[in-house]
Amino acid sequence: MTESLASASLHTIELGVDGMHCGGCTGRVQRALAGVPGVVDATVDLERQAATITARDTVEPARLVDAVGAAGYRATVREAVAGSDAMAAQRKHEASPGAAATVLLDIDGMTCASCVSRVEKALAKVPGVTHASVNLATERATVEASADLSAAQLVEAVEQAGYGATPIESAPAIATSAPVDHKAAHSVELDIDGMTCASCVSRVEKALAKVPGVTHASVNLATERATVEASADVSAAQLVEAVEQAGYQAMPVESAPSPARSTSAEREATHSIDLDIGGMTCASCVSRVEKALEKVPGVTHASVNLATERASVRAAGPLDVDALIAAVTTAGYRATPAPTPSPAADANAVASSTPAAPDRDARKRQEALRERNLVIASAVLSAPLVAPMLAAPLGIDAMLPGWLQLVLASIVQFGFGARFYRAAWHAVKARAGNMDLLVALGTSAAYGLSLWMLLRDPAHPGHLYFEASAVIVTLVRFGKWLEARAKRQTTDAIRALNALRPDRARIVDNGVERDVPLAQVRVGTIVSVRPGERLPVDGRVVSGRSHVDESLITGESLPVPKDDGDAVTAGSINGEGALLVETTAIGAETTLARIIRLVESAQAEKAPIQRLVDRVSAVFVPAILGIAVLTLVGWLLAGAGAETAILNAVAVLVIACPCALGLATPAAIMAGTGVAARHGVLIKDAQALELAQRATVIAFDKTGTLTEGKPSVTAFDAVDLPRDDALALAAAVQRHSDHPLARAVVAAYDAQRNAQAAPVATDARAVAGRGVEARVDGRLLALGSTRWRDELGIVVPPALDARAAELERAGNTISWLMHADAPRAAIALIAFGDTVKAGARDAIAALADRHVASVLVTGDNRGSAAAVAAALGIDEVHAQVLPDDKARVVASLKREHGGVVAMVGDGINDAPALAAADVGIAMATGTDVAMHTAGITLMRGDPALVADAIDISKRTYRKIQQNLFWAFVYNLIGVPLAALGWLNPVIAGAAMAFSSVSVVTNALLLRRWKGRAR
């Protein structure tokens, strides 16, 4: 690339940021800024309390201020280049070859701060470069240079320093001689899977930037999302393909017009829909439905779950629901749109002429009742055929006439067995095979042999085998009914959660209570909840005090006390007190609805081990047909009669069971994820389940994960004043600050004060990187760090200094209350500590019992980290780790330990590490970003749930292995026995019918599991 740097359409904005006090804060601010579309680089300086952002000219400073505010900090614009100034600068670039410009480079090969220094020095030595800044976390260099300097010169300088560099091409500047096509731009967002570090981000951005028509691509590791701006002729499918070729997975999220432009053209968007599938009986059916759906134009992915009988379909463009249903119908199955709890889902599907699906659970109950009645009727007709066989050993000859056997068997074969013929015919048309085809062929062979013998000699037909065909049909239908009952029990967790949803709410309007349907409640509405009632909404208590039973949502066995300001969750049960609750979330946005969606999603996923089953099921039925033919031919060649050969071939066809193979994995996953959800562990997908059971190392964040995350005053040593007076002064200085340490000081004063009134502070202000100062009773007071104390020249007694050092070694954070005006002096030493969560030590011990090593990874000081680690029995500690470096620590743990590494965290600053780990485990008490990034979410902030998550994952995976083992062994043993003539067709049919029932029943044993964290 040799074009002039003047083509860069970027500007730099500097923000003042208040409220940052540690590396974790800078990481949160940096991530918030990097997530704004159009931002290409963001650097946060803790000492200066400032952020410097390089962004496209379309990014307004107000958007950056809002992003910082959303992260929990205050921001003001210190310096920015206005749009008109940017255009003027661009014109100046065009007129003057020596004008300044900015270029961005992706740097490969950096591993540490020394690398950063070498690259910066190499760039700074290039003639014309005025400034070079390199960010190790994003692996990106921002270079300011004269406009006549080419990017090739910068790349060459970096390569000579021993690293790789690639220029990042930006969109043309706003002021350009070429006309701009305002109709040719749109924005597409993609969810990216598989990224673990900043290098992954770089590779994905490069892959997207190479797609013709793409003008800008920005990838956020924390949210695993890419924002792409491109011309209107660039489709989402092209972008997905580019990402997949780079080695990652992508799925379009939405497509919208670029903020700077508008168009009426149709935009591509991601669409998804779930379909309820009827008529599937085995793994071969699953494969056939998936293939049929994937052939529908526009469909990018189709996944079918035999246990839930549901298909999940995704497409890069609009979905034609009728086309999907027609594809499934053509394949020989039934399909109806699955009901969705989310109103937003309606926007994802195009209008269809298909009527809304009835209540699925009620329909399943009706089908089960109908199936039971058909089984009973079939058994009644089959009993006269099999009874004489059972009576024969007793010397009773009660064999029915041949023609009567024919009538009874025909009704069972072609009436109650009609479903097998229909499904078999569709399988033949699709050039595939399934269980129905095997049953239809086997029973037809037994029926046909008997009919031929009867017609050959009606007076003396000999022994007929009508009872074999009739009993096989009856037993198979009986087995499918039992299987349906067992499968329904695997979804008990979902039904239990759905049952928690109240239909109505009692709202308070101008002091008057009204009972209304839940759909009429809006965010902000005040809802009255009486003792013993279920909460209808997520909200915040504004009046009242009670205890709330949240056991079915969080797994917490004891009622949780609730007071003014406390959050409450829809579906939980109010205790003894009346509450007034301000609604914060309703319907599909409530915690309960999100839990239900997450569990349903996990149950619909296929585990990686299922790929083996899919490969086997693809060839299973053809292989069984081949074995049956060989059995028939073999017995005939051996000199056996046609009767014996046909019966043995029938036994082979009937005993083979692809059903057990198809149900082995999904049944266990449904039961496991369901019982886990009931105990407060939400598993997002089957891959997380499979990886969690293999975890050998778990890295824990400290604050909010192993500790309460609520600092408190652990020591307050006054120098010359009484302790209460000094504490009152400290509270006055901190009263108007929302910093966690300030709240801890005020809380300590409020808890211990006597009747005296609190002093009043004036002129309070934050001093960047130091602390807070304010005037109280005319004196200027300062409350801040030891560094600030030393800068003010305040000397304290050696004993107090020793006391501070001792407290710091014990893991406390030290602050000083001081007189900042003459005469300067220390007033008090304040120590802040964070309490270790109850049960955290037991949780670490429980993991050790499972041979899982625990590691502490935190941004806090070494003293605090070492103290917590010692208290919990953790040997390996990584302290003072910046948010971006946490992902690198996780990567190093993978290399050092060589196994699966899990990461447990709760904050935005943990999101990169959660994404980098093989399994991310997030606390639901933390941020949405952390939960979005993680594969497992813990509904309570109890570290003991981590051990529970590992335990239920291991038990579920063990059930999958058991089910697959028995399903394979059953077929490997049963088919040869049938081929050798050692199994009667009736016995073979019974074995086949109960094989799938045994698999589901084994999976249901997981429902007995009880976690330790109760």
172 vs 289, which has greater pLDDT?
Answer: 289
pLDDT tens per residue across span 487-505:
566 566 566 667 777 888 9
CB 191 within 8 A of CB 236: no
Q: State residue 848's pLDDT score.
A: 92
pLDDT tens per residue across span 254-275:
433 333 333 333 333 457 788 8
pLDDT (average), residues 829-833: 91
Q: State residue 696's pLDDT score.
A: 92
Within the chain, all domains assigned CATH 3.40.1110.10 are found at 712-833
Residue of 853, 794, 862 whose CA lies nearest to 828 = 794
Tokens 């485990």 belong to 921
d(CA 770, CA 228): 41
- What's the fold here for domain 5-168? Alpha-Beta Plaits (3.30.70)
Q: Which CATH class is domain 271-358?
A: alpha beta
Q: Is 767 exposed, middle or buried (0-12, 13-18, 19+ CB in 10 A)?
A: middle
Q: State residue 411's pLDDT score.
A: 94
Mean pLDDT of the chain: 77
CATH of 186-257, one of 3.40.140.10, 3.30.70.100, 3.30.70.1140, 2.40.160.40: 3.30.70.100
Q: Of 1-15, 183-197, 326-340, which gets the smallest average pLDDT?
A: 1-15
Tokens 């447990």 belong to 904
Residues contacting 689, CB < 8 A, separation 6+: 602, 607, 669, 672, 673, 683, 953, 956, 957
pLDDT (average), residues 610-630: 77
CB 693 within 8 A of CB 745: no
Strand 526-529 versus strand 504-509 pairing type: antiparallel
CB 232 within 8 A of CB 222: no
- What's the fold here for domain 712-833? Calcium-transporting ATPase, cytoplasmic domain N (3.40.1110)
Strand 900-905 versus strand 695-700 pairing type: parallel
d(CA 538, CA 789): 46
Q: State residue 70's pLDDT score.
A: 72
The rounded radius of gyration (Å) of the Cα atoms in the chain is 35
Within the chain, all domains assigned CATH 3.40.50.1000 are found at 686-707+836-934
**Which DSSP symbol is given to 534?**
B
Q: State residue 854's pLDDT score.
A: 94
Counting Cα atoms < 13 Å in the Cβ hemisphere of 297 gives: 2
Residue of 701, 687, 674 whose CA lies nearest to 943 = 701
d(CA 844, CA 875): 11
pLDDT (average), residues 543-553: 81
Q: Is the backbone of residue 781 left (phi > 0), alpha (psi -120 to 50) or beta?
A: beta
Kindly state the tokens that stand for 783.
């409350």
Hey, CA dihedral for 165, 166, 169, 170, is it positive or negative?
negative
398, pLDDT greater than 70: no
Strand 100-108 versus strand 164-168 pairing type: antiparallel
630, pLDDT greater than 90: yes
Residue of 401, 403, 405 whose CA lies nearest to 385 = 405
pLDDT band of residue 71 (cuts 50, 70, 90) is: confident
Active-site annotation holds for 701: yes
pLDDT band of residue 618 (cuts 50, 70, 90) is: low
Give backbone dihedrals phi and psi of 337, rounded to 5 degrees, phi first.
-60, 130
Neighbours of 969 (CB within 10 A): 10
Q: Provide the edge-to-edge strand list for the sheet that holds 560-562.
A: 560-562, 546-549, 573-574
pLDDT tens per residue across span 942-963:
898 999 999 999 999 899 888 8
Q: Is 17 exposed, middle or buried (0-12, 13-18, 19+ CB in 10 A)?
A: buried
Within the chain, all domains assigned CATH 2.70.150.10 are found at 522-585
CB 196 within 8 A of CB 249: no
Q: Is 396 exposed, middle or buried (0-12, 13-18, 19+ CB in 10 A)?
A: exposed
Q: State residue 87's pLDDT score.
A: 40
Tokens 């409450």 belong to 568
- What's the fold here for domain 686-707+836-934? Rossmann fold (3.40.50)
Q: Mapping DSSP to helix (H, G, I), strand (E, B) and coil, where does residue 58 land?
A: coil
Q: State residue 844's pLDDT score.
A: 93
Task: Supply the angle between the helices 740-752 and 723-734 in degrees, to the nearest 10.
Answer: 140
Within the chain, all domains assigned CATH 3.30.70.100 are found at 5-168, 186-257, 271-358
| Cα–Cα distance list, 927 to 538, 570, 913, 924, 930 (Å) | 16, 19, 14, 7, 5
pLDDT tens per residue across span 864-921:
788 889 889 999 999 877 766 788 888 889 888 888 999 998 765 676 788 788 888 8
Predicted TM-score (pTM) of the model is: 0.53
| Cα–Cα distance list, 713 to 383, 796, 872 (Å) | 81, 20, 21
Give backbone dihedrals phi and psi of 234, rounded to 5 degrees, phi first.
-90, 120
Residue of 901, 899, 953, 949 whose CA lies nearest to 924 = 949
In the set 701, 885, 948, 951, the catalytic residue is: 701
Long-range contacts from 798-805, C-beta under 8 angstroms, 24+ separation:
800/717, 800/719, 800/826, 800/829, 803/715, 803/717, 803/829, 804/829, 804/831
pLDDT tens per residue across span 161-215:
877 888 875 433 333 333 334 334 677 888 887 665 455 666 788 788 888 888 7
- 22-26, 208-212, 427-431: which is most confident: 208-212
- 41-55, 56-70, 397-411, 785-799: which is most confident: 785-799
563 vs 427, which has greater pLDDT?
Answer: 563
Q: Is 178 exposed, middle or buried (0-12, 13-18, 19+ CB in 10 A)?
A: exposed
Q: Which CATH class is domain 522-585?
A: mainly beta
d(CA 624, CA 938): 45
Helix residue ranges, H only, 908-943: 911-916, 928-933
Q: Which residues pair with 504 in a beta bridge?
A: 517
Apex CA 59: angle with CA 55 and CA 60, to 5°?
A: 125
CB 602 within 8 A of CB 669: yes
760, pLDDT greater than 60: yes
